[in-house]
Amino acid sequence: MQNNLDRLGKWAAENAMKINPSKCKMVHFTRARVKDQLNYTFGDQLILKASSCKYLGIFLCGDLGWTAHANYTVRKAWKALHFIMRILKKGNSTTKSLACMTLVCAILEYEFLCWDPYREGQIHALDRVQKKVAKFASHMNELNWEILSQRRKISHMCALFKAYSEERTCKAIGERLHRPIYLSRVDREWKFRNRRQRTDMGKYSFANRTIQLWNQLTAEILGTLLCKPNPFTKRVRRMINVVN
């Protein structure tokens, strides 16, 4: 690791690229207790240790959890919602809905395929923001919008559908999926094998959670897997809305 940092510093110096070591962080991604922690340097400056770091808008924690990012998302969404409530206090429902969908819901749904929360406290905190958004936009206490958990399920199924159909953007996911070792007469041929995990992070990961939903789909919903994503999304949305 240290050799790679030295090569990077040398390459940056040769190509006149300026890197600020003070903005760099070193994070140990592990759940085990690290007794002998290593120190890394960039040039002559020591890289500071941190429990989490922000990468492409997502907080990555050393314990492989999503608590930091969930709290950050909730705070940011509340801040955006309060801003809209001050500015559009006397606006109509159409304008409020458009503003909330653009500013608040975009924050709540940003890259949730990667960090989809599974703890009840985090899910409740996110749903609480959306309920307030729907109440402000529609002037009603009832939630007429799809809840976030349903939208996440639909997005997960669509992503797995793209991986199954070998779309270029999700090809890497499809290569890691395996067919079951044994199929009964009533099983469908497009089922995937469940992967055993010993930790919650693995059990509630994108692949494991989505495979369980995928294997529950009926032949009527799947139809032919040669269809386009839009018809498949509509069928999955109808099924999830009926179940919930």
Return d(Cα 203, Cα 207) in angstroms, integer: 9
Report the pLDDT value the prediction gives residue 73, as an integer from 0 to 100. Answer: 93
**Residue 206 in contact with residue 113, Cβ under 8 Å?**
yes
Non-local CB neighbours of 17 within 8 Å, separated by 6+ positions:
11
Report the pLDDT value the prediction gives residue 225, as an integer from 0 to 100. Answer: 57
Report the pLDDT value the prediction gives residue 219, as an integer from 0 to 100. Answer: 66
Cβ of 1: how many Cβ atoms within 10 Å?
A: 8
Q: DSSP per residue over 219-232, as a string?
A: HHHH--TTS-HHHH
Return d(Cα 112, Cα 150) in angstroms, integer: 12
Report the pLDDT value the prediction gives residue 82, as an integer from 0 to 100. Answer: 93
Report the pLDDT value the prediction gives residue 155, as an integer from 0 to 100. Answer: 83
**Residue 205 in contact with residue 197, Cβ under 8 Å?**
yes
The DSSP code for 63 is: T
Backbone angles phi, psi at 120, to 5 degrees: -65, -35
**Residue 114 in contact with residue 69, Cβ under 8 Å?**
no
Per-residue pLDDT of the chain (244 residues; tens, 9 = 90+): 656 666 666 666 566 567 777 788 888 887 777 677 778 887 788 888 888 888 888 898 888 888 899 999 999 999 999 999 998 888 888 888 888 888 998 898 888 878 888 888 888 999 899 888 888 887 655 456 777 888 888 888 887 777 776 656 566 665 666 666 556 665 566 677 777 777 777 787 877 888 887 777 776 666 555 566 677 777 777 777 655 5
Return d(Cα 3, Cα 6) in angstroms, integer: 5
Question: pTM score, two decimals?
Answer: 0.74
Report the pLDDT value the prediction gives residue 90, as an integer from 0 to 100. Answer: 83
Query: 42 - beta bridge partners?
Result: 45
211 token code pair: 């495979």
Report the pLDDT value the prediction gives residue 5, as an integer from 0 to 100. Answer: 61
